[in-house]
Structure 1
Amino acid sequence: MARITQARAFMVDLQPKVRRTDAIQSFKSQETIFVVVTDADGATGMGYSYTIGDGGPSVLALLRYTLLPRLMGQEAERIEAVWRDLLFWTHATAVGPIMSLALAAVDTALWDMRGRKASLPLWQLAGGAKAQVPMYTTEGGWLHIAPEALVEDALAAREQGFRGSKVKIGKPTVSGDAARLGAVRRALGDDYEIMTDANQSMTSAEALRRVPMLEALNIGWFEEPLPSDDIAGHARLQAGSRVPVAVGESLYSPGQFADYIAAGACGIVQADVARVGGITPWLKVAHMAEAHNLVICPHFLMELHVSLVCAVPNAPWLEYIPQLDDVAAPMAREGGMALAPEAPGLGIDWDHARLAALTVAGSDFTVEV
């Protein structure tokens, strides 16, 4: 084993290619925080994390002044030990999004290094359950999009081989949501999966009002209907609904997922590798879900999640939202199937010249032993 001798961090601000809106916000940009680690053998690994437009400098500050100095001198292969040490070293700031996002950038870099040194792709290193996975698209289902445009996008997606679409909900009335979802169901038929996402916008009463409509339209899941800290509300909702409740993009530790699962508050787990703190805790959540006969359908970051959903047996979907095309080669796919990367490590083919050109001024720094 070799000890970590250097870590570099920087931030790239990626603008969305299309307008992305939901019931509570608009996606402003992807502040993408990168960490490159180097060990005493000269091996490197590159990981990343993100925000949707706010907080990136805070993540960088935590890396610069706390996490990366603590990382120096640690054994690169002892990823579990490193993850736990960094978590508990800053326990006063955990659990929370800034801590988890910063920790994820380090953890994904270490897994990338491990894969590169072992000449193995992440999906095999972490389990190797399958070599491809079906995708559903969210890119044409944003809340501002009119019903006829939702239908047009879903028809085009099906023609490309996609097996499902996610449609944002949270209009002021149930009929407003029903009009959009109903138009897609009538046009696509019963064999095409339709997921919905309310983005924590509803009260318990408003969520319950929508359940009969979602059941009648055979909706695949009801995502984040309530604020993420309302476990009891989600449990009541799941108990009264034949549509699975999906949660996870706004949870930041395996323990938070354990609380949801223990309460029967979700039917689908949606851990986000960046928001939960990296690959190490993501795998814990995936296996926890499997042990409870639940599936994991991760949120966003398809270029990284493709390897993780292919690593585990209980991940039936990958969410399609392209965001890295300006700085990396497109993710490999055949029609509506995403293919597990074969390159060692994370398997993302970064365009380093573009990353350098897009690096936010003043964000680049290096910490060394």
Structure 2
Amino acid sequence: MVIQDISFVPLQAQLPGGGAYGMSKSLATARATTLVRLKLADGTEGIGEAWGMPQVNLAYLPLLKGYLVGTHVLDIEHAYSLMLARHYHFGVQGPLTWCISGIDMAAKDAAGKMLGQPVHRLIGGKQADKVHIYASGGYLTENSARDFEPQIEAMAKGGHRAVKIKIGVSPASDEERVATARRMLGPDVDIMVDINSNYTLDLARESITRLAPYKIGWVEEPLSPQDVSGYEILQRWSQVPIATGEALYTAFDFKRLIDRRAVDVIQPDLSLCGGFWQGKQIAQLAMMDHLRLSPHVWGSGVGLAAAVHFVASLPVYPHTNNVPRPTLVEYDLGTNPLRDSILKNPLKPVDGVIVVPDAPGLGIEVDWDAVERHALR
């Protein structure tokens, strides 16, 4: 079970002309990610996904291999700690942790295949046979006035019971978009909103005041990730739950927020926060402070599979048999060939849930022909 090699495959899927979509700060014209391939000495291969710019990840690969090749795959977390401690001048918020995240997914996938166990049994044990999702859409586009209602209509036709939409252009625009979504989806669908850190505290308060009557499930990233004091003030004031975490790295970042009880729902992204290695520590911090958790997912089908295993392994504490709000995994509805086409058996929700794979490792099979079509040259 010794690591023999690690390689990165940069992927990019260009969106069609006029098809850019995204958030209050920018629109995406392509979807990109880095696929991680980790090979053990016996030829067993694990697959992972690393966030960030693929070209930057590739530049880190020689450094990473120097620490990890020759390491027993079950000892790999000690090597991560050594890297972060030795290269502390690099910081944790950036490429080193992106790469560790994808490598950790791949390592757990490979270990599971070797041991004949699914990843969820390696990271805490199987607590759930299926996980609930929320549909993430309602994106801003080059022509949001034209494109918003068709996105919401597709959510309604899809029967989604929990959805998230993008806001953050202005408080007035926020109310207009949420009012439209509530009218089209009806009173019983759980609607979350995402500002993508585009507001200051005063604007966030104005927006939340306008949105509260529409029964919002949570307001996501209302403030900059650096504004911990602002989050603390907002969480104390807000009648709507506050969620954040997709731009936070390692348990250290989350601890600063959690210690101040400045958030209601934490949202680690396993492809950038440190993989399962840090995800488990973040979940432990949340459980100890009785906070909800919902992993952020906005990459390929590999990252989605990792999030499903992660949530399936989490305890329901402080609940028991009756769980008022199940832990939700984000399921992106945007045009994204990297989510489905690179896997032969992509995970897809049915009636609002994804069945947790029980095959060894992550339980997914890569379509290498499709990967080749999306490989960034």
Partner residue in 2 for 1:9: 8
C-alpha distance in 1, partners of 2:82/2:361? 23
Q: More deviation in 242-251 or 150-159?
A: 150-159
Q: Does 1:339 align with 2:350?
A: no
Q: Which residue identity is paired with 1:8?
A: S
Partner residue in 1 for 2:282: 285
Contact 2:172–2:207 under 8 Å retained in 1: no
Contact 1:168–1:197 under 8 Å retained in 2: yes
Q: Find 2:98's aligned residue among 101, 106, 129.
A: 101
The alpha-carbon deviation at position 346 of structure 1 amounts to 1.6
Q: Which residue identity is paired with 2:359?
A: A
The alpha-carbon deviation at position 88 of structure 1 amounts to 2.4
Q: Does 1:181 align with 2:178?
A: yes
Partner residue in 2 for 1:297: 294
Q: Deviations over 1:55-108 (max 9, x none)?
A: 3211111122x1112112111111322321232243221211211111112111
Partner residue in 2 for 1:165: 163
The alpha-carbon deviation at position 307 of structure 1 amounts to 1.6
Contact 1:123–1:308 under 8 Å retained in 2: yes
C-alpha distance in 2, partners of 1:143/1:221? 22
Q: Find 1:142's aligned residue among 133, 140, 150.
A: 140
C-alpha distance in 2, partners of 1:144/1:307? 35
Q: Does 1:120 align with 2:89?
A: no
C-alpha distance in 2, partners of 1:303/1:158? 25
The alpha-carbon deviation at position 220 of structure 1 amounts to 0.7
Task: Return closer, same or farther for 1:313/1:80 CA change in 2, 3 Å cut-off.
Answer: same
Q: Does 1:262 align with 2:259?
A: yes
C-alpha distance in 2, partners of 1:137/1:145? 21
C-alpha distance in 2, partners of 1:218/1:332? 28
Q: More deviation in 309-318 or 10-19?
A: 10-19
Q: Does 1:219 align with 2:235?
A: no
The alpha-carbon deviation at position 226 of structure 1 amounts to 0.9
C-alpha distance in 2, partners of 1:84/1:76? 14
The alpha-carbon deviation at position 258 of structure 1 amounts to 0.6
Q: Which residue identity is paired with 2:33?
A: T
Q: Does 1:318 align with 2:320?
A: no
Contact 2:156–2:184 under 8 Å retained in 1: no
SS in structure 2 opposite 1:312? coil
C-alpha distance in 2, partners of 1:139/1:187? 14
The alpha-carbon deviation at position 351 of structure 1 amounts to 0.4
C-alpha distance in 1, partners of 2:30/2:138? 17
Q: Give the TM-score, by structure 1 length.
A: 0.89
Q: More deviation in 319-328 or 67-76?
A: 319-328
Contact 1:130–1:313 under 8 Å retained in 2: no
Q: More deviation in 190-199 or 17-26?
A: 17-26
Q: Give the TM-score, by structure 2 length.
A: 0.88
Q: Deviations over 1:132-169 (max 9, x none)?
A: 12221113343666578545433443443321111111
Contact 1:182–1:217 under 8 Å retained in 2: yes
Contact 2:174–2:211 under 8 Å retained in 1: no
SS in structure 2 opposite 1:33? strand
Q: Which residue identity is paired with 1:288?
A: L
Q: Deviations over 1:16-48 (max 9, x none)?
A: 575322110112333321222222333221212
Task: Return closer, same or farther for 1:297/1:142 CA change in 2, 3 Å cut-off.
Answer: farther
Contact 2:23–2:139 under 8 Å retained in 1: no
Q: More deviation in 82-91 or 152-161?
A: 152-161
SS in structure 2 opposite 1:360? coil
SS in structure 1 opposite 2:97? helix
Partner residue in 1 for 2:58: 60
Contact 1:246–1:269 under 8 Å retained in 2: yes
Q: Which residue identity is paired with 2:332?
A: I
Partner residue in 2 for 1:132: 130
Contact 1:147–1:183 under 8 Å retained in 2: no
Partner residue in 2 for 1:327: 342
Task: Return closer, same or farther for 1:161/1:287 CA change in 2, 3 Å cut-off.
Answer: farther
Q: Which residue identity is paired with 1:103?
A: I
Task: Return closer, same or farther for 1:36/1:149 CA change in 2, 3 Å cut-off.
Answer: closer
